[in-house]
Structure 1
Amino acid sequence: MLIHKVIAAHAAEQPEAVAVIHRGSRVDYRTLDAAADACAAELAALGVGPGTIVPVSLGRSAHLAMTLLAVLKCGAAYAAIDRRWPAERVGVLLQLLAPPVLITDQPAPPGTPVCDPTGRGLDEWAAAGGTPPEAEITPDAPACVFFTSGTTGVPKGVLSPHRATTRLFAPSGPLAFGPGRVMCQASPPAWDAFSLELWGMLTTGGTAVVADDDHLLPHVLHRLIAEENVNTLWLTASLFNLFTDLEPECFTGLKHVITGGERLSPAHVERFLRRYPDITLANGYGPVESCVFATYHTITRADLERTDGIPLGRPVPGTGIHLVDDEICISGDGLALGYLGQEELTAERFVERVVDGRPVRVYRTGDLGRRDADELLHFRGRADRQVKIRGYRIEPAEIEVAAHRIDGLHQCVVVPVPAADGRPGSYDKLALFYTTATAVEPPAVRRLLASRLPHYSVPDVIRQVPAIPVTTNGKTDARTLLDTLTASVAARLTAP
């Protein structure tokens, strides 16, 4: 199914139902769909159509929802740009996309054609009328590009088709939300969790409530529950832990909380279940290459007794999970078409494996896993250096490449810092260690990295060291580097 076709069907069936709420303003399905039609007609006149990818740099709002829907109605794909990304990173992405137009309400690079849809309200767009040319595309056609960290220093553009999104919310699955479901939309548009919060509502007849700030805070959640009847929420495991620690009462009124992106903390889960036995709490797992989730598990108190942690669960509709030499491989309709402009990497990660006697295209996640006696999938760590920090997927090599480009820096090594609670495979900070023959101080390194990397990839700790220690087999001695952090903290605490 096509995302925009499913939403148009809801607009025909329940035209007055509320689709999007932002700052107290309500947009119904009829208005959203008609406004997107009019916007799509204008975009088509600018050259937007099948085979094009349109970068969209707008704040989270009803206008953003309309604009993305309009791009899809043209038969094109969108690439949501995080407005917090450094200009250098955005420039690289625009070069990669070579778009017919950039959709933004902010200044654009010289020579870039721009369209700003925010000059008119959605009611005005809907009243303007307009019908985009009928796009002859299938559910295999690209719908969006998600950018994620790359080991070469260049972001990877994951090209995701319509079917990857619509399969997730199939009526037979655990995410068949439906009318009456009201979800907080707080994830950055460039992140695949945005698809869960926006398309998960609009393709099932629910309502997306847009939170204004870049970061959802407990008191904002509490207000949206009280004022807009939000009943469904997605939080990364880090945010779930933070909210549970700081303001556990903020969940009052919810019916469904989904968390994941990192290994869950049984202590925080136990605290939540004890306080909110009537709220469904679930663990969702999946790389962006399989669009939001590949597996899903409704958590019970019995899961807290498992020695290998809370399960990742079972496959969502249209998805297959295969363990090949202990590596989690994913197949099915959720798979991306590949990496934009990176054919070799696509061929390396998206491969054929024989399953039940027939060749099947799978994505090699790099995650290690096992199935228990109940056929539930469990996470056992990574086969490479990739880590999740605060829900963001990070390649330390990308940061090292950026650091090596700084004049005066010699050896540069990024090491993830284990989480304070000691959970295996869980990290809460990044540390960069570097050597230099000149006076390049850590604050200067931080400023330069912040101008080149997204905010979540800038290391929390930056240290100059005399040399990068190595183990007896010649590999970086990460443990010794981490010990220097502990020693420096101890020295400050014992200083007179």
Structure 2
Amino acid sequence: MRPDAAAVPRLIHHAVTRQARLHPDSCAVIDGPLRVSYDTLDRAADAYAADLAAAGVRAGDLVPVALPRGARLIVALLAVLKCGAGYATLDVARPAGQLRRSVEQLGARVGIGRPLAEHAAAVWCPPEEPLAETAAGASQPIEADVDEHAVAAVFFTSGTTGAPKAVASPHRAAMRLFVPAPLPGYGPGRTMVQAAPVGWDAFTLEVWGPLITGGTCAIAGGGGLLPDELRELIDEAGARTLWLTSALFNLFVDEDLDAFTGLETVYTGGEVLSPGHVRSFLDRHPGIALFNGYGPVESCGFATTHRIRPADCDNPAGIPIGSPVPGTGVHLADGEIYLTGAGLATGYLNNPAENAARFTTLATAAGAERAYRTGDRAEVDADGVWHFRGRTDRQVKIAGHRVEPAGIEAVARTAPGVRHCAAVPVPGPGGAPDRLALFYTAAATAAESTPAALRGHLQQQLPRPWVPAVLHPLPALPTTANGKVDHAALLALLRATPARSTS
């Protein structure tokens, strides 16, 4: 029996089914020329779920999914949830060894997608027929006995700070962002771009956010979103809401500031925002609501958001990360952010040491609560607005002095012409960092952003031990698959090319 359309849903698939009952003919997914209605999406997922159950998927299972980005992928994920299982969406381009380790970590009975044929005990592949035909043949929906605490998705961290961790995220972590009241930019008639890597928690914002709230998910091509494609999605798919990491946001502002025209809501974040890029955006697009979104994958999507105003660009401490989203507690203990509430992951799979280190119990006004230690430092002002102050674990010792790379980056971003930057500790012969390198991008016409000029700027505002030994201008900072600055690639570049400035 399908959930009551009048009831407040607590599970992701129940929320989608509710929208299918209320607005069956509304467009749920746009995938190139394909338009998929809510009714087709929901009933096709029912058909897939019946096949998955026959293949052996049971409530509580964790199902690896290796399918190309597209409408069929979304239907498959919805089917997994209808079975009462959770999914882990894996990049089909990942090396075979990584796929195998992920499947093993999930303890999967059944995998979805041909790339998993060598790694999972059983593999199911969606039929090639059109989704409308699949929907027409759907039988009675499956009703699995799970609640909002059940794992909906597993996200694998990038592994840039060690071995990738498998973060198990429950239904309620996603639902809190959209029910009963959705975040700005979501709801009926709102179309959001889906361009983030499919295995990242931003995928939740881009897919389940629209589908939970009766909006539309417009899928970008698989090669990474570029300004020209964004223009097409705005013009042809009616895209009005967008999420970009701060590095990609900066790239779009630098390359094609007018590509945002037609959007109504833009979310950015993942790293400290560049006030210069934000100011350029706000000057050109005063009618677009721009939000800074903060939150680790362990608190799915966002923990805080902040509607950015022009005055925020003049804040010497940087653009605020804002106020807690619904269902989320943000607390400060010894200068570090702790998160509580419905957004928290159930933990890391098969990793008791990390669970013990990162998930703890915190005494709050509501009593003793389960909390996640973010490793982020912050301050909260008198208005209850939170301000990011760097990472606790980025602090390093250089020649006996404690140095905070985030503080160096904040000062460097105030230098004339500097657009984006990353301060990276450089390992010495013994493995410990013995100097810092600052990589940065600058406006092509900014003569004042030469390494020598930037060094002078830093020397005027930073303690001497904090001034990087190496200043290295680049056309653009390399990014990981998740759109964050790739520190490992920067170090490799430093080893491969002579430094532009040392002293």
TM-score of the aligned structures, taking structure 2 as reference length: 0.79
Aligned mate of 2:393, from 384, 387, 393: 384
Q: Report deviation, 1:81.
A: 0.3
The change in CA–CA distance for 1:266 and 1:455 in structure 2 (over 3 A counts) is closer
SS in 1 for 2:176: helix
Q: Percent identical across equivalent pairs?
A: 47
* Cα-to-partner distance string for 1:20-68 (whole Å, 9 max, x where unaligned): 0001110000000000001001101111121210000111100011000
- The aligned residue for residue 319 of structure 2 is 310
User: d(CA) in 2 for partners of 1:419 and 1:251?
Assistant: 24
Contact in 2 for aligned 1:168/1:175 (Cα 8 Å)? no
In the other structure, the counterpart of 2:298 is: 289
Among 473, 482, 488, the residue aligned to 2:499:
488
**Structure 2: how far apart are the matches of 1:197 and 1:368?**
28
| Residue number among 363, 369, 373 corresponding to 2:378 in the alignment | 369
- 1:275 aligned onto 2:284: yes
**Equivalent residues in 2 for 1:71-470, closer than 5 Å:** 71-106=80-115, 108-109=117-118, 112-150=121-159, 153-172=162-181, 174-175=183-184, 177-356=186-365, 358-385=367-394, 417-420=438-441, 459-461=488-490
Quote the residue 1:37 is aligned against: 46
In the alignment, the residues of structure 2 paired with residue 374 and residue 335 of structure 1 have an alpha-carbon distance, to the nearest angstrom, of 25
Q: Deviations over 1:285-313 (max 9, x none)?
A: 00000001000111111212212111000
Give, in angstroms, the shift of residue 105 of structure 1: 3.8
| Cα RMSD, aligned residues only | 3.2
Relative to structure 1, the CA distance from residue 355 to residue 462 in structure 2 (aligned partners, 3 Å threshold; closer, same or farther) is closer
What residue is the counterpart of 1:9 in the other structure? 18
Task: Give the AA of the match of 1:60.
Answer: R
Equivalent-residue separation in structure 1 for 2:316 and 2:500 (angstroms): 33
Q: Which moved more, 1:97-106 or 1:107-116?
A: 107-116
**Is the Cα contact below 8 Å between 1:232 and 1:256 reproduced in 2?**
yes
Instruction: Give the superposition deviation at 1:98.
Output: 2.1
Alignment CA distance shift 1:178-1:13 (3 Å): same
Runs of at least 5 residues in structure 1 that lack an aligned partner in the other structure:
401-408, 425-430, 432-449, 465-481, 492-496
Distance 1:258 1:416, change over 3 A: farther
> Which structure exhibits the higher relative contact order, with contacts defined as CA atoms closer than 8 Å and separated by 6 or more residues?
1
Mapped contact 1:16–1:28 kept (Cα < 8 A)? yes
* Residues matched between the structures, number: 432
Alpha-carbon distance change, 489 to 419 in structure 1, aligned in 2, over 3 angstroms: closer
Q: Contact 2:110–2:120 (CA<8 Å) still a contact in 1?
A: no
Amino acid at match of 2:167: V
TM-score, reference length from structure 1: 0.80
Give the CA deviation at 1:212.
1.0
Where does residue 25 of structure 1 map in the other structure?
Answer: 34
Q: Does the aligned pair in 1 maintain the 2:109–2:120 contact within 8 Å?
A: no
Given the superposition, is the C-alpha separation of residues 197 and 152 from structure 1 closer, same or farther in structure 2, using an over 3 Å criterion?
closer
Contact 2:242–2:266 under 8 Å retained in 1: yes
> Secondary structure of 2:374's match?
strand
Evaluate the alpha carbon distance shift between residue 111 and residue 28 of structure 1 in structure 2; reply closer, same or farther with a 3 A threshold.
closer
Distance in 2 (CA, whole Å) between partners of 1:455 and 1:244 is 16
Q: Could you list the per-position Cα deviations for residues 429-453 of structure 1 after superposition, in whole angstroms to 9, with x for gaps in the alignment? A: xx9xxxxxxxxxxxxxxxxxx9xx9
Shift of 1:113: 1.6
Of 137-146 and 98-107, deviating more is: 98-107
Contact 1:104–1:114 (CA<8 Å) still a contact in 2?
A: yes
Q: Deviations over 1:382-406 (max 9, x none)?
A: 11149999xxxx9x99xx9xxxxxx
Task: Return the alpha-carbon distance in structure 2 between the equivalents of residues 353 and 319 of structure 1.
Answer: 14
Residues of 1 paired with 2:49 and 2:105: CA distance? 23
Report the Cα offset of residue 413 of structure 1: 7.3
